[in-house]
Amino acid sequence: MSPVLLFSLVIVYFLLLLVVAWFTSRNANNESFFIGNRGSNWMLVAFGMIGTSLSGVTFVSVPGTVGIESFSYFQIIIGNLIGYIVVAYVLLPIYYKMNLTSIYNYLQVRLGFASYKVGASFFILSRILGATARLYLVVNILHFTILERFGLPFWVAAFIILLMILLYTFEGGVKTIVWTDTLQTACMLIGLIVCVYYILSNLDMSLLDGTKALAEKGYSNIFVTDPASKYFFVKQIVAGAFISITMTGMDQEMMQKNISVRTLKDSQKNMMTFAVIFMLVVLLFLFLGGLLQLFAESKGIAARGDSLFPTIALEYMPAAVSIIFIIALISALFPSADGAITALTASFCIDILGINRNANMDDKEKKRTRQIVHLTFAALFLLMVMVFKWMNNPSMIGLILKIAAFTYGPLLGLFAFGILTKRSVNDPLVPVVVVISPVLCFILDMFQSKIFGGYQIGLELLFINGLLTFLGLWLIPGKNLQK
């Protein structure tokens, strides 16, 4: 397919986003950028959050795992549902009661200023690593399929895409992203459905026939019953619950959209609606992954893992379906980066620089500071994408979940300690605890075969990390305990 045509599609899609951004960012201020003036429609937020949560990694990497892991990834998604219930009915009431702009202000009120700063810092670290890993995967595909044919090096491709994202988020922030994410989620889901329909038609199967074929091949097996396996269903479900609690409920990017909704009740409806739809969409992605395996076997295609879906979509499907795939892939790309840069800007400005606490800064100075921070994070994203290009990991979803175990664990421990206990802490020592905990987990992960023999630690490393942080906080009590 002509790279000129594909690149033209990217430009047209980007111009559409700019039009949406122009309409939504008029008369925008810092409150619009950070929390959308608390006027977001809960149904739009719920739908748009699907695109943010899925990202290009789910779009490409999850179908690619089916050939090795069958549908076992869905065990994590079952756990996610449990976690989303906790987010909706435990965390959101706290955030709304305290009228928070940054959710990490809760840590300042409950534990102290150092706890607040270190919590925000771990979010920034987590989101930079996770978002840039997701961004790298899709940029790599777009570079290979389109921009490389124009003779552009990879870093130029990454720069162009980040520049596009900057242009439509620079003014409106969350107020714009709520709408652009809705558009992008719709395009991504349309692409998913079209690809499923095409493969079923090519294999001369109905939906029921496809389901039976996957079951016969063992691709649709969900539950792993071997307790020693890192995919054991109990471990995966528990890990999935903690992943959604931390990566959604303790993540400023995800929560800034939820707390931009008018009322707590609407925000809870948003969360639970999103949770159910998210499960169904991931199940459809896994079904697509199984169909891709059947298609590859029938055509003798050697591609596996993250390269399977792009290879089939761009080399073995009609031009019209390939175009839809590219549009869907772009739609999966932007939500994973635009919201991340916006949330990082918000957290750094509010939590680290404290612009809302600085009475000496007028609105113009605050806006200028926000814009400089926004540009800085975009540059940092470019640098990190280049690092992931150098690493060239064959399965990005596994890498992202491993990163989350190390970086979100301390956030889990901090919030859990604040919510589940009434103890105070020696606040200046909190940064020491939250650094030691992931270091201990790293050592445990490195030497687990020597320590546990045949038992494999998987995603439960996130829970272990949070537990170590919790215990560390318990061991550094403050002078005055809360009554």
Between residues 325 and 202, which one has the greater pLDDT? 202
Max mean pLDDT among 146-160, 390-404, 427-441 falls in: 427-441
pLDDT at 95 exceeding the cut of 70:
yes
pLDDT at 434 exceeding the cut of 70:
yes
pLDDT at 85 exceeding the cut of 90:
yes
pLDDT tens digits along 12-53: 877 777 777 667 665 554 454 444 445 556 666 666 666 666
pLDDT > 90: what percent of the chain? Answer: 25
According to the model, what pLDDT value does residue 478 have? Answer: 82
User: What residues pair up with 261 in beta bridges, in sequence order?
Assistant: 40
Prediction pTM value: 0.78
According to the model, what pLDDT value does residue 182 have? Answer: 73
Average confidence score pLDDT of the chain: 82
pLDDT tens digits along 229-242: 878 899 889 989 99
CB atoms within 10 A of CB 260: 27
According to the model, what pLDDT value does residue 170 have? Answer: 61
Q: Which of 277-286, 322-331, 335-344 has the lowest mean pLDDT?
A: 335-344
pLDDT at 309 exceeding the cut of 90:
no
Instruction: Quote the CA–CA distance of 471 and 293 in Å, as a whole number.
Output: 45
pLDDT tens digits along 255-275: 877 777 788 998 898 889 888
Instruction: Quote the CA–CA distance of 180 and 186 in Å, as a whole number.
Output: 10
